[in-house]
Amino acid sequence: MDILNQLGGLVLGSVPTMVLFVLLVVAYGLLVRRPMDKVLAERRARTSGAVEQAKGAISAAEAETAVYEGKLRAAKAEIFQARDKKLKQWTAERDQALSEVRTATQSRVQAARQEIEQSAAVAKKQIEGMSEELSAQILRAVLPAGATGTGVAQS
């Protein structure tokens, strides 16, 4: 029983320590733990809010990038179409100019052929006329003067 008495005395002596410990734990909870939890929760909220804001900014930037790329593709397509249109126009103009030159050249060649044919026909007539005169002159020069009249008439 002596031990129980001693144990009872120790428990009674430790009651104020236990009360102080409980008060200290409660005071710690009220004075330190709760404000610290509030600050940490606020920091966490701000951090996650900043992360959400950053994600929103990133998705907005990606959307603007997609719009920009679409406009860039459209501009490139427009440039290529304009270039193709201009090339087709130049090709058509070149083909038309070549066609005109071919037509003009064919007309000149045709006119030159006709002119050559006419010149050849005139020259042929001149040669035929001159050949008759030359043959008459040759006959006069070769044959005596009296025979020329009868020989030419017989031929």
| DSSP states of 86-142 | HHHHHHHHHHHHHHHHHHHHHHHHHHHHHHHHHHHHHHHHHHHHHHHHHHHHHHHHH
> Hunting for tokens 């994600």 — which residue is that?
55
pLDDT recorded at residue 3:
86
Q: Are 139 and 148 in contact (CB under 8 A)?
A: yes
- Predicted local distance difference test score (pLDDT) of residue 155: 45
Q: What is the pLDDT of residue 86?
A: 96
User: Measured between alpha carbons, how far is 83 from 141 in angstroms, rounded to an integer?
Assistant: 83
Q: Percent of the chain, pLDDT > 70?
A: 92
Question: Residues 84-101, buried b or exposed e (16+ Cβ, 10 A)?
Answer: eeeeeeeeeeeeeeeeee
Which one is predicted more confidently, 99 or 141?
99
Residue range 104-110: mean pLDDT, rounded: 95
pTM summary value = 0.42
pLDDT of residue 145: 63
CA distance linking residue 121 with residue 115, whole number of Å: 10
Instruction: Return the DSSP state at 143.
Output: S
Q: Is the pLDDT of residue 109 over 80?
A: yes
Cβ contact 132:145 at 8 Å: no
3-state secondary structure of 13: helix
Q: How confident is the model at residue 149 (pLDDT cuts 50, 70, 90)?
A: low
Angle, alpha carbons 122-124-129 (nearest 5°): 95
42-73 confidence digits (pLDDT tens): 888 888 888 888 999 999 999 999 999 999 99
Q: Answer yes or no: is pLDDT of 153 > 70.
A: no
Q: List, for residues 110-147, the tens digit of each pLDDT value.
A: 999 999 999 999 999 888 888 888 888 888 888 866 55
pLDDT on residue 154: 47
Predicted local distance difference test score (pLDDT) of residue 146: 58
Q: Is the dihedral of CA 93, 96, 102, 105 positive or negative?
A: negative
The amino acid that residue 14 corresponds to is S
**pLDDT > 90 fraction of the chain, expressed in percent and rounded:** 57
pLDDT at 8 over 90: no
